[in-house]
Copies of this chain bind each other. A is one copy, B any other.
Amino acid sequence: MSGTTAVRDARPGRSRRQGNPTILDVAERAGVSKSLVSLALRGSPMVREEKRKAVLRAAEQLGYRPNAVARSLVRNRTNVIGVMLSDLHNLYFAEVVDGIEAEALSAEYRALINTGSRMAEREWAAIETLLQLRTDGLILAGPVLPASLILSAAASVPVVLVARASRWPSVDSVTNDDRAGARMAVDHLVALGHRDIAHVDGGTGAGAASRRSGYLEAMRDHGLARVAAVAPGTFTEEGGAAGIDRLLASRARPTAVFVANDLAAVGALHALERHGAGVPEDVSVVGYDNTALAALGHIDLTTIDQPRREIGATAVRLLLERLDDGRHRGRHVVLSPRLVVRGTTRPPRGRSIAATPAPE
C-alpha cells in the first residue's frame, strides 16, 4: 500500500496528456500491462481481484472511456445495427424504432438511426454511411430505393426490410398482412349493416396495393362486388380529401368509406365535413395504421392497428439470426393486424343498433 507512487513517467518525453485517456494511461496508473487492463475492463474472471480493483480505480480517476472505434477495428465487429428510416415525420416508424431499440439492447447491440427524407438518393447516402461505419447489420424501414441497391447492400451485410416485402433470399423482411387488415375493415362495416362501402386508396404507397385488393376481395366475398368503388388517393391528408372529392363527384354518397391510412382518413374526414356529410351519422370512416393521430379524442378514428413494436423487434431478431446463427435462407415474416373500433363507425341511418341508439 505504498499509495500513489505509480510508475508514471516511464516515458520521459511526451507525458501522454492529450486527448482522451487510453488503456495505456490506465495501465500506467494502475501499474499493470495494457493487456490486463483490457481483460479487467471486460470483466474477465482471469484477473486477480486486487488488480481488478486497481484497474477500475485508475480508469475511474482518469475518466477513461473505451474507444469503440479501436475496438471495432480489431474485432471486425461494431455491435451496432444501422437503421435507415425513410421518413422521420411518419409516426408509424417511431414505434417501430422503439421495438428495434428494445430488442437490440437486450442483445447487447445499439441501434443507430440515419434518415433518408423519402428520397432514393438520400436514402442511399444514409445506407452508404452506415456501411462505411461497418454496422453489423442494416434495417431499412420503408425504403423507396430500387431493389438493385438493396441487394447490393445485402451483399456485404445482413439486411432486413420493414414495411416493404422482399422475395430475395439474401434480404429478410417484416411486413404486416395488409390484405387481411383491409378485409377486417370491410367485415366490420358489413357487420354494422353497411353495404355501400367505398375505398380511397393509397396510390403507390407501401402496402397500398395489398389494402386495395384486400378491400376488393372482401367486397366480393360479401356479394358486394357490384357496389365496390375505389377512388385514387395517396398516403397524405390531401390525398384522402381528393379521394373523397372524386368519389362524391362521380356517384351517390356511400354510407361508409375505408381509407388507406390514418392521415388520408383525416383528410377524408375534413372533406366529408366540407360536403356537409356528418361522420359517423351520414358516413362511417375507417382508417389504417392506428397512429397516434387516430387515437386523438378529437378525431377518434376507427382503424386497423399494426403491431409496430413487434415489427421492429422481429426485424432485429431476423438480423441476429443471420449474425449469430449464420442463417442464409431468406425469411419473410408477415404479422397480423387488429381492428380498433372508435367513434367514426356506426350502423348506417335507418338500421337500429343493439346498444343505446345515439340521441342525435
Chain A residues proximal to chain B, CB less than 8 Å: 19-20, 63, 65-70, 72-73, 76, 78, 80, 88-89, 91, 94-95, 97-98, 101, 110-115, 117, 128-129, 131-134, 155-156, 237, 241, 266-267, 269-271, 273, 292-293, 296-299
How many copies of this chain sit in the oligomeric assembly? 2
Q: In angstroms, how far is the closest chain B Cβ from the Cβ of A304?
A: 19
Q: In the complex the two chains form, is B292's CB within 8 Å of A270's CB?
A: no
Q: In the complex the two chains form, is A68's CB within 8 Å of B237's CB?
A: no
Q: Bound state CA distance, A95 and B88, in angstroms?
A: 8
Q: In angstroms, how far is the closest chain B Cβ from the Cβ of A306?
A: 16
Q: In the complex the two chains form, is B133's CB within 8 Å of A68's CB?
A: yes
Q: Bound state CA distance, A56 and B350, in angstroms?
A: 74
Looking across the interface, which residue of chain B has its beta carbon closest to that of A102?
B117
**Residue in contact with A297 in the complex, picked from B89, B117, B270, B292, CB distance below 8 Å:** B270
Q: In angstroms, how far is the closest chain B Cβ from the Cβ of A360?
A: 12
Q: In the complex the two chains form, is B298's CB within 8 Å of A266's CB?
A: yes
* Residues of chain B contacted by A133 (CB below 8 angstroms): 68-69, 80
* Residues of chain B contacted by A271 (CB below 8 angstroms): 297
* Residues of chain B contacted by A80 (CB below 8 angstroms): 133
Question: What are 25 residue pairs bridging A and B, where the CB atoms are less than 8 Å apart in the complex?
Answer: A19-B76, A63-B156, A68-B132, A69-B72, A70-B73, A73-B73, A88-B97, A89-B91, A89-B94, A91-B91, A97-B115, A101-B115, A101-B117, A110-B114, A110-B129, A112-B112, A113-B113, A113-B115, A266-B296, A266-B297, A266-B298, A267-B297, A273-B298, A298-B298, A298-B299
* Residues of chain B contacted by A113 (CB below 8 angstroms): 112-115
* Residues of chain B contacted by A89 (CB below 8 angstroms): 91, 94-95, 292
> Which of A19, A111, A156, A296 has the most chain B CB atoms inside 10 A of its CB?
A296
Looking across the interface, which residue of chain B has its beta carbon closest to that of A130?
B112
* Residues of chain B contacted by A111 (CB below 8 angstroms): 114
CB-based closest 3 A-B pairs: A270-B297, A113-B113, A68-B132
Q: Bound state CA distance, A89 and B105, in angstroms?
A: 19
Q: In the complex the two chains form, is A65's CB within 8 Å of B132's CB?
A: yes
Q: In the complex the two chains form, is A65's CB within 8 Å of B297's CB?
A: no
**Residue in contact with A20 in the complex, picked from B72, B114, B156, CB distance below 8 Å:** B156
Q: Bound state CA distance, A47 and B132, in angstroms?
A: 24
* Residues of chain B contacted by A98 (CB below 8 angstroms): 88, 117
Looking across the interface, which residue of chain B has its beta carbon closest to that of A20?
B156
**Residue in contact with A134 in the complex, picked from B69, B155, B266, CB distance below 8 Å:** B69
**Residue in contact with A132 in the complex, picked from B63, B66, B237, CB distance below 8 Å:** B66
Q: In the complex the two chains form, is B88's CB within 8 Å of A94's CB?
A: yes
Q: In angstroms, how far is the closest chain B Cβ from the Cβ of A129?
A: 5
Q: In angstroms, how far is the closest chain B Cβ from the Cβ of A143?
A: 17
Q: Bound state CA distance, A133 and B69, in angstroms?
A: 6
